Amino acid sequence: MTTGRTLVVGAGLVGLAVARELQRVRPDDEVVVLDKEGRVGAHQSSHNSGVVHAGVYYPPGSLKARLCRRGVGLLRDYTSDKCITYDEVGKVVVAVDRADEQRLAEVHHRSVANGVPGITRVGPDGLRDLEPHVRGRAALHSPTTAITDFPAVARALADDVTGGEGRILLGHEVVAIRHRRVGVEVLVDQAGERTRLAADRLVICGGLHVDRLARMAGGDPDPRIVPFRGEYHLLAPERADLVRGLVYPVPDPSLPFLGVHLTRRVDGSVDVGPNAVLATAREGYRLRDLDARDLAETLAWPGMRPVAARHWRTGAAEVIGSLSAHRFAEAARRYVPELRDADLGPGGAGVRAQAVGRDGQLVDDFVIEQIGPVTAVRNAPSPAATSSLAIAEEIVARLV
């Protein structure tokens, strides 16, 4: 086995997990993690639901299905070793009408095929036993779906990397990538001062900016990252007992995103959301955030035209929901009829890095691209946090 230097771009969950796995498999290598932010896990790793997914929804045989199931076990063991909260609160996927019931059968099939433990279908009475305030015609119960503190996981991974003599260089933005006769060279900007770093291998885990970084390395311009902001409302503390665990809708394959659900967090609070609104900045966590370059790239991408044509009505409704707590409450009342508009307060937001193909298809599965000595994680939406340790195994196995 050859040794040398490996650079990892991105100090989120996936990038840090890759660095840690590299140290385990290649103990003689020098591992350096680069990130433009001043802290680890600054974006999707700390702006997510906190849910550890069991693998209920994903097509059997997909990378998502395989790496999610592997990732759950690795993450459960890791959080136990690091004394990080990991609570199997369970999830119900609730069918509220006949169309939902029909689609629920496919979710059940996928769950069984993916080896999700303990999955059971229940009727209205069984649902009431699990979630006394939730109503539906039927539901799937996933008892091992869990919640954890992903920012704490990111910090623990960072400690592992530095404790294993790896380096994490924060405030270091990659602005250019050049292939050399052997290996690769990266130009890094730190507060206006530029430095060139040579390496034998480069792994790009750039999240919201991964397509730009991959193009710097000579990667395919297709797919393009399109940012979607997901906004949450927070259930009033005195009403948090309306939900014991996680209450999810049945996915509608005609819609691009899952829709509003209710999610208990490790601190006992309950999120209601998210919606999905096209963001006008890749790091646009607020409605007023605008980055002209980001927006221009999004609108110029050929794949956006068919996406807009198919989903403009849904998009318009999501924008209205973004401005109205009543619309959020209305959506949540499909599952929790007792929920009132006044039960909702302001919550947080995240931005999803959604890969969109030139043909207008939203890329669903994880995508890993190899560009000579460069490996780029081109699409890593949910359940990437759950799967991060398994994604790291997959990437490092391809490097060995």
Structure tokens, 233: 């409302």
- Average of per-residue pLDDT across 189-217: 97
Q: What is the DSSP letter of 151?
A: H
pLDDT tens-digit map of 61-111: 999 999 999 999 999 999 999 999 999 999 999 999 999 999 999 999 999
- Work out the burial of residue 52: count CB atoms within 10 Å of its CB; fewer than 13 is exposed, 13-18 middle, 19 or more buried: buried
| Residue ranges, CATH 3.30.9, the chain | 226-362
pLDDT at 217 over 80: yes
pLDDT tens-digit map of 13-69: 999 999 999 999 999 999 999 999 999 999 999 999 999 999 999 999 999 999 999
Say what the pLDDT of residue 37 is. 98
Least trusted range by pLDDT, from 92-96, 263-267, 314-318: 314-318
pLDDT at 396 over 90: yes
- Average of per-residue pLDDT across 263-292: 94
Per cent of the chain over pLDDT 70 is 96
Domain spanning 1-86+145-223+365-400, CATH architecture: 3-Layer(bba) Sandwich (3.50)
- Work out the burial of residue 73: count CB atoms within 10 Å of its CB; fewer than 13 is exposed, 13-18 middle, 19 or more buried: exposed
Q: What is the DSSP letter of 69?
A: H
Q: Could you count the other beta carbons within 10 Å of the beta carbon of residue 139?
A: 31
Q: Which of 348, 291, 276, 338 is nearest to 47 (CA)?
A: 348
Q: What is the DSSP letter of 362?
A: B
- Average of per-residue pLDDT across 208-237: 96
Which phi and psi angles does 165 have, rounded to 5°?
70, 15
pLDDT at 243 over 50: yes
Average pLDDT, the chain: 95
Q: Which of 236, 261, 322 is nearest to 91 (CA)?
A: 261
Query: CA 51, CA 104: separation in Å to the nearest integer?
Result: 20
Banded model confidence at residue 351, pLDDT cuts 50, 70, 90: very high
- Average of per-residue pLDDT across 243-264: 90
Give Cα 289 to chain centroid, integer Å: 21
pLDDT at 307 over 50: yes
- Average of per-residue pLDDT across 218-234: 95
Say what the pLDDT of residue 101 is. 96
pLDDT at 1 over 50: no
pLDDT tens-digit map of 367-386: 999 999 999 999 999 999 99
Topology annotation, domain 226-362? D-Amino Acid Oxidase; Chain A, domain 2 (3.30.9)
| Residue ranges, CATH 3.50.50.60, the chain | 1-86+145-223+365-400
DSSP lists the bridge partners of residue 344 as 235
Give Cβ neighbours of residue 300 (< 8 Å, ≥ 6 apart). Answer: none
